């Protein structure tokens, strides 16, 4: 288990937010510089690490870890994200999943699944590490503040499939 806030959590505490809760209560707050009630998600530039080194950077979690990470661009004036990390790279899989506010039906964010490959593209070797990336929906407010994303890791099947 990670350090910090997790040591002051009550017995039996489980941090298992839904996609909607991650967007509405954590990512929006982080993007607006509003503190979270409990500092349970660490700020870590995940692309500076191999995924197996990230659990030690987390505030909380045994099989699933959450991080706020800056969005880096592959090229300074481009829109493509830089997904190189440690000894490999993260590759997007499937299609983006829209996240909606259950109360209003409004789109509030997007979830993307990525898999870690060791080596360099296109000859990288696929690993069991999966990451879910969350971004705010593209609205004027989000565009102004969408510089961080919460990341949910799990080693195996994304939702960070349990490796426990």
Going along the chain from its start, the domains and CATH numbers come out as 4-155 (2.170.150.80)
Token pair 């909607």 is found at: 20
pLDDT at 102: 95
The two three-digit tokens of residue 47, written as one number: 């692309």
pLDDT at 119: 97
Could you write out the DSSP letters of every residue in 85-127? ETTEEEEEEEEEEEEE-TTT--EEEEEEEEEEEESSTTS-EEE
**Mean pLDDT per segment of 10 residues, for the chain of length 164 residues?**
57 88 90 83 90 91 87 79 91 93 92 95 94 80 47 42 26
Preceding amide of 98 cis, omega within 30: no
pLDDT at 148: 53
pLDDT at 11: 83
pLDDT at 60: 85
Query: In which region does residue 15 sit, left (phi positive, over 0), alpha (psi from -120 to 50) or beta (all else)?
Result: beta
pTM given for the model: 0.78
């Amino acid at each position: 288990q990670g350090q910090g806030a997790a040591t002051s959590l009550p017995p039996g505490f489980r941090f298992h937010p839904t996609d909607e809760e991650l967007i509405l209560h954590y990512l929006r707050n982080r993007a607006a510089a509003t503190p979270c009630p409990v500092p349970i998600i660490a700020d870590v530039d995940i692309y500076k690490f191999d995924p197996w080194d990230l659990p030690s950077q987390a505030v909380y979690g045994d099989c699933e870890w959450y991080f706020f990470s800056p969005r880096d661009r592959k090229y300074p004036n481009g829109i493509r994200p830089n997904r190189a990390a440690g000894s490999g790279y993260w590759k997007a899989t499937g299609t983006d999943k829209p996240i909606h506010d259950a109360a209003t039906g409004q789109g509030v964010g997007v979830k993307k699944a990525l898999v870690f490959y060791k080596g360099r593209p296109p000859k990288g070797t696929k690993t069991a590490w999966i990451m879910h990336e969350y971004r705010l929906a593209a609205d004027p407010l989000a565009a102004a503040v969408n510089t961080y994303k919460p990341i949910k890791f799990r080693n195996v099947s994304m939702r960070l499939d349990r490796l426990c």
